[in-house]
Amino acid sequence: MQDMGDLTFDANEIVKRSYEIVSKIVPGKTPEEKIVQRCVIATGDFGIKDLIVFKGDAVKEGIKAILDGSNLICDVKMVSAGINKRRFDGDVFVAVEHGDDEKLTRAMSGIYRLKDKMDGAIAVIGNAPSSLIAVCNLINEGVKPGIVIGTPVGFINAAESKEMLRELDVPSITTRGTRGGSTLAVAIFNALVNLAYEGPC
């Protein structure tokens, strides 16, 4: 399995050893555990395993959206930069690049401007709580993304935005509380990409 950009022998060995270490705590027997493994490796923090929340058929719907080449809408460039584009060939839209409003954050404004691309899309929000709130508002208006990965980080609206998402009838993968970040969002998405193309083995 080629994972996390391990294109050389040494890099592959590092990834292999990392999974061996993590598997002692998170066995990786289910698709959800494989995603959690990736999150632990990405953060170097075993505590993150207790913060990941799966809602609905998140893994199934995420894999389906990836294989369908659905739009990917993310909040910031850091998320788009980490996406495994060697395997995912859907169109990627970055909210901050579309935001243009004097009152709203660029991330929130950009999500609203990308409304027409959201149905069936993969929303990956790793940094800006305001953009996840915007996604939730659009869902309440009837927009239906295929899956939402929401891991915004911080002390202002981060925990609240994720709680808001978990209350909605949409498949999602989130983190509890204030912890999260773009690294986690990318880790979750790329783990789904691996599952999509290699299966749960």
Domain count, the chain: 1
User: In this prediction, what percent of the chain has a pLDDT beyond 70?
Assistant: 93
> Residue 8 has what pLDDT?
55
pLDDT of 198 over the 90 cut = no
Residue 136 within any structural domain of the chain:
yes
**Is the torsion defined by CA of 24, 1, 184, 150 positive or negative?**
negative
| pLDDT band for position 155 (cuts 50, 70, 90) | very high
Residue 21 within any structural domain of the chain:
no
Q: In what order do the strands lie in the sheet with 92-94?
A: 52-55, 172-175, 147-150, 122-125, 72-74, 92-94
Helix residue spans in 114-181 (DSSP H):
129-140, 158-166
Q: Please write the tens of the pLDDT for every residue from 74-83.
A: 999 999 999 9
| 148 strand-pairing partners | 123, 172
> Residue 4 has what pLDDT?
54
> Residue 126 has what pLDDT?
97
Domain that holds residue 107: 48-198
pLDDT of 132 over the 80 cut = yes
pLDDT of 191 over the 60 cut = yes
pLDDT, mean of residues 33-61: 96
Residue 30 within any structural domain of the chain:
no
Tokens of 137: 């508002």
pLDDT, mean of residues 35-49: 95
Residue 29 within any structural domain of the chain:
no
> Residue 1 has what pLDDT?
44
Residue 121 within any structural domain of the chain:
yes
Residue 89 within any structural domain of the chain:
yes
Residue 66 within any structural domain of the chain:
yes
DSSP 24-38: TTS---SHHHHHHHH
Residue 119 within any structural domain of the chain:
yes
CATH classification of the domain holding 172: 3.40.50.10230
Lowest mean pLDDT among 13-27, 45-59, 78-92, 99-113: 13-27
Over the chain, what is the mean pLDDT? 92
- Where do we find the tokens 């989130």? 174
pLDDT, mean of residues 155-182: 97
> Residue 20 has what pLDDT?
84
Q: pTM for the complete prediction?
A: 0.91
Q: What values do phi and psi take at 141, rounded to 5?
A: -85, -5
